[in-house]
Structure 1
Amino acid sequence: MKFSSALVLAAASTASAIELTPDNYEAETAGKSVFLKFFAPWCGHCKKLKPDWDKLMEEFKDSPTQLIADVDCTADGKALCDENGVRGYPTLKYGDPSDLQDYQGGRSLDDLKKFAAENLKPLCSVKNIDLCDATKKAQIEKYLAMPEAELKATVEAEEKKIEDAEENFKTEVQKLQDAYTKLNEDKEKLIAEVKAAGLGLMKSVLKAPKDGKDEL
């Protein structure tokens, strides 16, 4: 009976799990405050955390304003991990989906539940416009009033600016890398030439004991 109950619980937790990727991130997180686990399936610490994290996802699965979810950094979620500066596993982040913060608290189920309940507050969004300040409300109302085609074109134009900035960044970084490589090669070449010209022998002569033959 215990074995069967465990299987049922595990199945329920798995069914409520949400795994985020770049394709579903905006849709799944819209209007919600999030608590995310960035992980790798082979990671021992990730495996240890998984049972309690699955229970946490089950606990909050029906919340309209809170989302507990996974991001697999070895699969379709890798781009999200790179974008959020994930370097180790598991990494937990929370808050506004567009401005995640690092979670530094305990990792027991009680710690995680308490943190989620106290910190995952509803955010200003199209669905929660009453939580927005006057500036954000005006922006949302402006975008809602725009024809869909115009809004789509505006979004594409803004995204193009980001893409161009990223490409420019890559180009300039490559230039710096090439310059560094050239400077390093020039340095090593000069050092080799100086040594080949007799630097070592000159140092040896300076350090050699004088035998007094040049004294009168």
Structure 2
Amino acid sequence: MPLPHQPYSQKEHWNAFWQMFYRIKRAGKLIEIPITEDMLAEAKAFTEKVILEKQKEEVHQRDGRQEKKRWMTGTLGELALERFLGVRFRDPTVGDSIRYAVPDLSTIGLPVGVKSFRAGNFPLVNRLLSRNPRKPLTEAEIFIAVEPTRMKAYLFGLAFQEDLIRNEQNPENDRYVKDGNALDRKTAFTSFDALHSFHCLEELESLIFRHSTELAG
């Protein structure tokens, strides 16, 4: 019989996150991106529009405040990354979720997703080893934290599929997941030291190209 889920307390989670944060910052691998008032206004307007549309979908008809927070977080992270890269990749349209099940940067030709999350908690990521086989594997994911009260975003770097799988294989990461019911689909990402840094769009493209070339052998 499996042991009951024993998540870390909020204090333990918080302390572990900020220890990681300042370790990465001291190593010079953390990039701080300002969040402007215009970005905040754009994120709020888009979130309000998307929440109205999502209410039509049964899966989104509960937990309204958390839903709004998730969309604000995701949109602010993408806007901050757009500012940093100097290119627009977000799709500003709103519609059925199935239409948008593609990597976030696919609009600029990169098979890369963006994992935006609130600073202070490790982000949850989809499991790849026990995933739904009908869903495509994520080739790479960019991790960016947002701190709206301080009007800042923090770019940590890029994880490739093998980095995500190695992270998933660490059972301790499950203890950063508050809801035990989510464990069959999600785990926490804590492997920030393993992320690949980039400082511009060209460096990101080079990382993706080099990785694809290595996989091709």
TM-score between the two structures when normalised by the length of structure 2? 0.24
Structure whose residues are more often strand by fraction:
2
Larger gyration radius, structure 1 or structure 2? 1
TM-score (norm 1): 0.24
Q: More helix per residue: 1 or 2?
A: 1
Q: Answer 1 or 2: higher relative contact order, Cα 8 Å, separation at least 6.
A: 2
